[in-house]
Amino acid sequence: MTTITSEFVPAELDGARWESLAPLYKTLCDRELACSGCLEQLLLDRSVLDATASEAQTNLYVRMTCHTDDKQAKSAYLRFVEAVEPHLKQVGFELDRKIVGSPHGADLDGPRYAVLLRDLAADVELFREQNIPLQTEDTKLDQQYEETCGAMTVDFEGAERTLPQMSKYLEQTDRATREAAWRGVAERRFADHEKLDTIFDRMVELRTQMARNAGFDDYRGYMFKRYHRFDYTPADCEDFHRAAEQVCVPVLRRLNAERKDALGIDPLRPWDLAVDPMGREPLQPFEGTDDLVAKTSRLFHRMDPSLGAMFDTLRTGDCLDLETRKGKAPGGYQAHRDRSLRPFIFMNAAGVHRDLDTMVHEAGHAFHSILCHHEPLLHYRNSPIEFAEVASMTMELFGFPYLDEFYDEAEAMRARRKRLEELATMLPWIATIDAFQHWIYTNPEHTHDERAAYWLQLSDRFGSAVSWDGLAKYHEVSWQRQGHLYGVPFYYIEYGIAQLGALQMWLQYKKDPAKAIANYKNALALGGSRPLPELFAAAELDFSFGPPTMRRLMDEVQNELDTLPI
């Protein structure tokens, strides 16, 4: 085990209690910064202390999500959120200000500290006392959104079902069942559409006010800075939208047409998109999580022995909780224990194809964490999402040749096709959500009718070739199901940028696997220590998301799709 040792922070310090953290943070805040060496030492000591608190929070979060029926686990996590986190935020801001204000920052090794100082300076610049209550109200509104959506159920086939439970009916081969399920969900969402509109209106108002308080014309400019988007602009995002429209949408609609023909229906309707077009049973890649882990290990060993070995380190100790069971939170994630330097992968494996994608994806995040263990600064052990998701999405594509660990050849082809089809659907959807937010926050005074009209316009521009005939009222408010618009505004384009990086990695891999693996590992090892374009360059990837890059990549996707039967 590689736990970070530090003279400043004892290994046994309890990072879950503010009383144990507070004296050390106070020492840091009071420390005299007489020279650049002192500033550097402050950065290092702070890093270990932050990592100690972060690991405590991660452990509490992991325990809670693994045991949602354990009241004590939940209250311990909430205690941290309520009694420790606000102190950490406050003292964190104080330290940021101290570091940014130090004249010795200019004497530090420029390239080494440039990203860190740039990020901290932006955070300090954006901070406004008067925005704190606005932020709190915004968070509460998101809780209302979550509660409203979480409470939605549909009576279907003799039982009350949650909306996530309803999604499996959209995969049924019986079309009437799919239509009834789709309409049931749409009608249930529609019943709350006014409430969700009102919540969103207030959020737009609050967010616009926060931006103006901080001296910005609109919330878009404010959020670009808050997300540390120093290396691309709204105009670059518009370039991505154009690329999705010109290059991906034709591929998407071609796939829709093939699906329509395979299903023998006309026109395609919104409830026809998830069913297997050939009416086959779902893929079954493994039986039980031991089988999943063993097969995934072989996949990585064949891809690259050192990645295989890295994956195997996760098999010992408490690094994996994979199988679905009662009392476990939904979804999947990779979390990193920042002090003891151990990744953790959480998921709900039930034996379906998606579980295999999730396993390989989260393993990519774990490789990223492990490859950054040499980095002393916590801030640099995490990279921006635009690159972090390159690490994970790349593994899904590099895994293509080794799917025979899970499937026979026909099934493996079906799995590859599924992944590429998802990608052709995802990129235009990302453009839709991103373009919608750009419009929302640069036109904050819009009416509901204008909002609906703009949404439908985007759907024409980027959507699937399905007929919404007679479904207009559902279509107009269908943006309300995208929780990111409520909870994490402007956060979404990151996945598009990362996907373009991952596709470029895949093209490299097809040409020269050894070189591609080396590029992948070199770039991941930089963590977040370099600006985004340099992280991309370290893996020999273009950091550009306009039509030429998109065309080069989608041509390859289309070529591959041509070799894979429907």
**Could you give the C-alpha distances from 534 to 111, 238, 272, 369, 507, in angstroms and in order?**
12, 22, 42, 19, 19
- Give least dist CB 498 to Zn ion, A: 8
Q: Hey, is 347 helix, strand or coil?
A: strand
- Give least dist CB 365 to Zn ion, A: 6
Task: Indicate whether 394 belongs to the interface with Zn ion (CB under 5 A).
Answer: no
Residue number closest to Zn ion, CB atom: 392
- Give least dist CB 28 to Zn ion, A: 32
- Give least dist CB 241 to Zn ion, A: 23
Q: Which is nearer to Zn ion, 272 or 494 (CB)?
A: 494
What six digits make up the tokens of 268? 């395609």
Residue 341 has φ and ψ, to the nearest 5°, of 55, 55
Beta strands at 342-349 and 320-323: parallel, antiparallel or unpaired: parallel
Residue 31 has φ and ψ, to the nearest 5°, of -65, 135
Mark the segment that binds Zn ion (CB under 5 A) among 133-141, 324-332, 386-394, 453-461. 386-394
Mark the segment that binds Zn ion (CB under 5 A) among 82-90, 96-104, 384-392, 403-411. 384-392
The dihedral built from the CA positions of residue 107, 113, 115 and 116, taken in this order, carries a sign that is negative
Q: Are the C-beta atoms of residues 397 and 502 closer than 8 Å to each other?
A: yes
- Give least dist CB 345 to Zn ion, A: 11
Q: Which is nearer to Zn ion, 392 or 504 (CB)?
A: 392
Q: Cα(312)–Cα(289) distance, rounded to whole angstroms? A: 14
- Give least dist CB 268 to Zn ion, A: 30
Q: Which is nearer to Zn ion, 229 or 361 (CB)?
A: 361
What six digits make up the tokens of 224? 């670009």
What six digits make up the tokens of 247? 């290059």
Closest CA to 168 of 413, 350, 430: 350
**Could you give the C-alpha distances from 358 to 48, 82, 190, 273, 309, in angstroms and in order?**
31, 31, 31, 21, 19
Mark the segment that binds Zn ion (CB under 5 A) among 167-175, 388-396, 441-449, 528-536. 388-396
Q: Which is nearer to Zn ion, 268 or 335 (CB)?
A: 335
Q: Which is nearer to Zn ion, 131 or 394 (CB)?
A: 394
Mark the segment that binds Zn ion (CB under 5 A) among 6-14, 77-85, 217-225, 392-400. 392-400
Task: Indicate whether 432 belongs to the interface with Zn ion (CB under 5 A).
Answer: no
**Number of Cβ within a 10 Å radius of residue 138:** 19
Q: Are the C-beta atoms of residues 391 and 382 closer than 8 Å to each other?
A: no
- Give least dist CB 501 to Zn ion, A: 13
Q: Which is nearer to Zn ion, 65 or 392 (CB)?
A: 392
Terminal Cα distance for the chain, rounded: 47
Q: Which is nearer to Zn ion, 480 or 504 (CB)?
A: 504
Q: Which is nearer to Zn ion, 210 or 345 (CB)?
A: 345
Mark the segment that binds Zn ion (CB under 5 A) among 223-231, 309-317, 391-399, 490-498. 391-399
Mark out the alpha helices in 372-492 (DSSP H runs): 378-381, 385-398, 409-442, 448-462, 472-476, 484-487
Q: Cα(463)–Cα(477) distance, rounded to whole angstroms? A: 15
Give the interface size with Zn ion as a residue count (CB under 5 A): 1
> How far is C-alpha 34 from the chain's CA centre?
41
Beta strands at 159-162 and 153-156: parallel, antiparallel or unpaired: antiparallel
Q: Which is nearer to Zn ion, 88 or 335 (CB)?
A: 335
Q: Which is nearer to Zn ion, 117 or 347 (CB)?
A: 347
- Give least dist CB 70 to Zn ion, A: 26
- Side chain identity, residue 98: K
- Side chain identity, residue 415: A
- Give least dist CB 389 to Zn ion, A: 5
Q: Which is nearer to Zn ion, 358 or 478 (CB)?
A: 358
- Give least dist CB 320 to Zn ion, A: 16
- Give least dist CB 369 to Zn ion, A: 12
- Give least dist CB 371 to Zn ion, A: 16
Q: Cα(91)–Cα(162) distance, rounded to whole angstroms? A: 41
Task: Indicate whether 392 belongs to the interface with Zn ion (CB under 5 A).
Answer: yes
What six digits make up the tokens of 26? 């106070």
Q: Which is nearer to Zn ion, 392 or 459 (CB)?
A: 392
Q: Which is nearer to Zn ion, 360 or 561 (CB)?
A: 360
Residue 332 is classified by DSSP as -
- Give least dist CB 331 to Zn ion, A: 11
- Give least dist CB 319 to Zn ion, A: 17
Closest CA to 374 of 341, 343, 345, 337: 341
Q: Which helix (H) or strand (E) holds 536?
A: helix 532-538
**Could you give the C-alpha distances from 354 to 111, 294, 409, 416, in angstroms and in order?**
41, 17, 18, 12
Q: Are the C-beta atoms of residues 127 and 137 closer than 8 Å to each other?
A: no
Q: Which is nearer to Zn ion, 45 or 362 (CB)?
A: 362
Give Cβ neighbours of residue 207 (< 8 Å, ≥ 6 apart).
138, 219, 441, 489
Q: Which of residues 250-279 bind Zn ion (CB under 5 A)?
A: none
Q: Cα(26)–Cα(280) distance, rounded to whole angstroms? A: 63
Q: Which of residues 335-354 bind Zn ion (CB under 5 A)?
A: none
- Give least dist CB 47 to Zn ion, A: 24
Mark the segment that binds Zn ion (CB under 5 A) among 236-244, 312-320, 378-386, 387-395. 387-395
Q: Hey, is 268 helix, strand or coil?
A: coil
Q: Which is nearer to Zn ion, 246 or 425 (CB)?
A: 425
> Site residues (CB under 5 A) for Zn ion?
392
